[in-house]
Amino acid sequence: MIPRYAPVDATALFTERHRFATMLEVEVLVAEAMAELGTVPSEAAAYLRAHAPQIDDAFVLEIAEREAITNHDTAAFVDVAQKHIGGEHAQWLHYGLTSNDVVDTALSVILRDALNLVIESAVELRDAFTDRAYATIDLFCAGRTHGMYAEPTSFGIKFALWALAADRDRVRLEAARDALAVGKLSGAVGTYSNIDPRVEEIVCQQLGLRPLPSTQVIARDAHAQALNAIAQFGGTIEQFALEVRLLSRSDVGEMSEYFAEGQKGSSAMPHKRNPIMSERLCGMSRVLRGYAATGMENVALWHERDISHSSAERIIFPDAISLVLYMARRAAQLVNTVVIHSDRAMKNLLQDSHGSVFSQSLLLALISMGEERELAYRTVQELSARALETNSTLQELAYELDLPEATYDQVFSLNRLLAHRERFLSALTWRA
């Protein structure tokens, strides 16, 4: 991921130093488990632990130089690690293992830890939505369907629904993390031909993973599940950001991004205050969906193993996790700082809509008073069209129908239409 969109805590998990350090820990744990079972001399396992090298930039460079000869990065890693360990016991490193035993198990550890960061960010975003939902539940605005005025809603309802979506993302991400938290230490083609299955159980328990039967590689459906969960989380962020963009339009003006002192919206037009963060988040969500598609393509591999998934995963996992973490954190900032222009929202709702948002209420009132539905529908439709043509409101023209005053009070009451808005807050059970 380019530095502009790369959170430090995410990128740290995907450095070569951290990857090789995790692989080395797997290797040493395997030797210790084998020593426990009597396959490897106990003094050899203790020696490997005591002499395990520190993985620094020089070590990583040495692996790269060795790989230029071996044309195999895991083999290069083992060669360099054995060299640094030294002595007769170094030969027990990687005993009975194949490359993907170490690579896939280490990747599971890294992805589990990375997904924990993403899950934390989903909770933070959910809670930010929740706080704004409670704060804005009584700020009414026009609901829109097909981009057209529909019926009244409130900003709090919008935020509550986004909070619920973020919580569903949390559930999906947790399920994906748990599905990925598996290890495989079963040797070539996965048949445990040269390694006791108990080694897999012991090492996985120490790493906080579940042992999982596999071929030579861990099945990639769980990896695809994780990338899809990430993409869906990005979709929730995009839905919020898109609404901010739509409500920020000059002709709507109900929301706007916070504009800091000294900020510029355009290099050419000084009046501009563009929703740049919302636009950025929408664009990034498209990238996440592309990574999810690649994850699905990685599921089908040849026979017991090929590595067509490997090159793609070296790109898509670090990038997808860094990107969604950046998005979630910026989205939470946006939720906390987005400006709601409630006066403009009420003007749009009551004046610019010409009262059309009450058309269903008037229709139902006429039906309940005994009017045939089709006639009532045409009556309200004609009044709504005339309100627009004459720059009046539906309520003003509805007085032609000579209904009881109490009926008008009920039909054109925002509080009646939104009497159940607290229902949305009650769904945010984590706040209670």
Domain annotation for the chain: domains and CATH numbers: 1-95 (1.10.275.10), 98-179+217-341 (1.20.200.10), 345-426 (1.10.40)
DSSP helix/strand/coil, 152: strand
DSSP 182: E
Q: What is the pLDDT of residue 124?
A: 98
For residue 307, the Cα-to-chain-centroid distance in whole angstroms is 27
| Phi, psi angles (nearest 5°) of residue 311 | -65, -40
CB under 8 Å to 375, separation ≥6 — which residues? none
Among candidate residues 46, 33, 409, the one with its CA nearest the CA of residue 185: 33
Measured CA to CA, the distance from residue 266 to residue 11 in angstroms comes to 32
CB distance 283 to 241 below 8 Å: no
Report the half-sphere exposure of 17 (CA within 13 A, side-chain side).
8
What pLDDT sits at residue 273?
A: 82
Cα gap 257→331, rounded to integer Å? 11
Sign of CA dihedral 405, 364, 360, 385: negative
Would you give per-residue pLDDT tens digits along the chain (432 residues)?
788 999 999 999 999 999 999 999 999 999 999 999 999 999 999 999 999 999 999 999 999 999 999 999 999 999 999 999 999 999 999 999 999 999 999 999 999 999 999 999 999 999 999 999 999 999 999 999 999 999 999 999 999 999 999 999 999 999 999 999 999 999 999 999 999 999 999 999 999 999 999 999 999 999 999 999 999 999 999 999 999 999 999 999 999 988 877 787 777 788 878 889 999 999 999 999 999 999 999 999 999 999 999 999 999 999 999 999 999 999 999 999 999 999 999 999 999 999 999 999 999 999 999 999 999 999 999 999 999 999 999 999 999 998 999 999 999 999 999 999 999 999 999 986
d(CA 295, CA 315): 11
CA 13 – CA 17 distance, rounded (Å): 9
CA angle 172-154-403, nearest 5°? 135
342 is catalytic: no
Interhelix angle 221-248/308-337, rounded to 10 degrees, is: 30
- The SS3 of residue 81 is helix
Q: What is the DSSP string of 51-74?
A: TPPP--HHHHHHHHHHHHHHS-HH
* Proportion of the chain in helix, strand, coil states, percent, rounded to 5: 70, 5, 25
With beta carbons less than 8 A apart as the criterion, state whether 173 and 115 touch: yes
Nearest Cα neighbor of 112 from 19, 21, 201, 174 is 174
CA angle, 167 as apex, 166 and 169 as ends, to 5°?
A: 65
- 146 in catalytic set: yes
pLDDT of residue 107: 98
- Other C-beta atoms closer than 10 Å to the C-beta of 190 total 21
**pLDDT for position 292:** 96
Task: Kindly report whether the global pTM for this prediction surpasses the value 0.85.
Answer: yes
pLDDT score of 41: 97
Task: Render 287-345 in DSSP notation, one character per residue.
Answer: HHHHHHHHHHHTS--STT---HHHHHHHHHHHHHHHHHHHHHHHHHHHHHH-EE-HHHH
Task: List, as one string, the DSSP characters of 233-259.
Answer: HHHHHHHHHHHHHHHHSTTT-SEE---
Of the candidates 266, 308, 368, 426, the residue annotated as catalytic is 266
